[in-house]
Amino acid sequence: MNRGKDAVWQEDMLDQQNSNANSAEASFLIGLFQQLNDSAIPYCVLRNYNTLPYSLGGSDIDLLVSGDSLATVFDIVNKLAHMHGGRCISYFKVMGIICRFCGKDKKNRTWWGVPIDIFPFVGLRQKEHFDAESVLSNSLVYRNIRVASPDDAAIIAFLKECVAHGRSRKNYEKEAATAYASNRSRYKKRFEKYFGTRMARQWSKYLLCGGDAKTLRQISRRARYALSVKAILRKPLGSMQNTFVCIWRRYSRLFHPPGFAVVVMGTDGSGKSTIIESIRPVIETALHSKVFYEHMRPNLLLSLARLFGRPVNKGPTTDPHAGKPSGLLCSLIRLSYYSTDYVIGYWLKVFPALVKWPCMYLFDRYYYDYLIDPYRGRIKLPKWIIAFVGLFIPRPDIILCLDADPEVIHARKPELPLEEVKRQIDALRQFCDKNKRAVWIDTGCSIEKSVDQALEAITSRMAARYE
């Protein structure tokens, strides 16, 4: 990198900096960039670095590195995460490495999560559309972190949005136009290199003169085609190899999805809602993705009550055994209908999301509830029938079985008789002992300890896929 171009930016918003310095991820981030600087590996953060290294500010880290240092950089990040009580909970390769880390800091005892995308090139869909070495050499220093220059970052973000979606966010377009006008010759050469002379003129005209959404969609569509043609002409064998590698890695995620499915089981009053609401923010920060929440099943199919036009209670259930169990035939129909939702709902709704990107599907109860408390689902069938159908139900990655003293649970929610609460806890314990994917969580202790147990169980299982 050209150190003569380094510029140490003025520190601003000191009060924000100080308030973020004690964030859960601060010590990990500070150590990460210090190690990257000490390693002398060419790198830079592309965007969203204003709060670094004290906080992520709700974003992820897009890290551009030199082409031969991808594995080394991941190794640095992974080892540092372990030093701070963290693990890699999601990992997959495209042309770069998409990785997610989560853990509990050993010093301040707080949970943290850091999503990092590490790339040795600037592009999308296996096609490079900007010179990575140029970005690295033109990078600046901000709070002891190497970052892409604002102009480069604006052009890259604009191109990424256009190539991927055929549109651009308003601020990206405005920033890119300003950047292009300030250094037209530099960016024109980059456009010509990756898109060809004709497309370079169209990009130039749009950025300098503007245009409507329809014009941008047309340019973006032509740009995608030109990008592919130019890449093949520039590096025929390399382009074909990259395409095949990315296709293979994409389809390999069918067998090793980066996403994760979690089920939370427990009687009413066991603390399911508290646990779910406490673990969601940590997981969402770590995965940089919203946790998908479903009650009982995938809910691709309507409930039978809604299907037949009956009113549905959207609030919490105050009397889970209020409805009388159906007869044999109706119970079979009910079980068959909802089992169908578990199967096709999983393969058409849940599984595609788990394969596509690091995410989590979190179920409050699941099919196993029909074994432990069949009356809640108004099902009255021999357990062997329910267990047999359960063999065809897709299994989650982990099942959290929540438990506390029956008297404590009954005091929290006295809707069911104490004896029924005891029976359900015993049934859940037997289920947990027999199921290798189930983990017992004690919710009779403090909320903090219960949440720690749940997060420890989830992150351990997620990390075990890559260890």
| pLDDT tens digits along 345-360 | 999 999 999 999 999 9
**DSSP state string for 236-300:** HHHHHHHHHHHHHHHHHTTTS-S-EEEEEE--TTSSHHHHHHHHHHHHHHHHTSPPEEEESS---
* CB neighbourhood size of 67 (10 A): 11
Total-model pTM:
0.88
| Helix, strand, or coil (residue 171) | helix
246-284 pLDDT, tens digit per residue, is 778 788 889 999 999 999 999 989 999 999 999 999 999
Among 63, 67, 44, which Cα is nearest to 148's?
44
Give the pLDDT band of residue 167 (cuts 50, 70, 90): confident
The reply to whether 28 and 59 lie within a common domain is: yes
Given a contact cutoff of 8 angstroms between Cβ atoms, the answer to whether 141 and 120 are in contact is no
207-236 pLDDT, tens digit per residue, is 999 888 899 999 999 988 888 887 777 777
The reply to whether 136 and 198 lie within a common domain is: no
How confident is the model at residue 19, as a pLDDT? Answer: 45
How confident is the model at residue 10, as a pLDDT? Answer: 41
Looking at the 3D structure of the chain, how many domains does it have?
3
**Residue 467: CA count within 13 A, CB half-sphere:** 12
Pairing of strands 61-65, 43-45: antiparallel
Residue 462 CA to residue 261 CA, distance in Å, equals 10
The reply to whether 40 and 7 lie within a common domain is: yes
Task: Please give the residue range of the domain that contains residue 99.
Answer: 1-148
The reply to whether 312 and 228 lie within a common domain is: no
Residue 232 CA to residue 365 CA, distance in Å, equals 51
Pairing of strands 86-93, 61-65: unpaired
* CB neighbourhood size of 3 (10 A): 7
Q: What is the DSSP letter of 96?
A: S
**Percent of the chain surpassing pLDDT 70:** 92
* CB neighbourhood size of 117 (10 A): 17
Sequence-distant (≥ 6) Cβ neighbours of residue 133 within 8 angstroms: 66
The reply to whether 306 and 410 lie within a common domain is: yes
The reply to whether 297 and 245 lie within a common domain is: no
How buried is residue 230: exposed, middle or buried, by Cβ count under 10 Å (0-12/13-18/19+)?
buried
369-424 pLDDT, tens digit per residue, is 999 999 888 899 999 999 999 999 999 999 999 988 999 998 888 888 999 999 99
The reply to whether 265 and 406 lie within a common domain is: yes
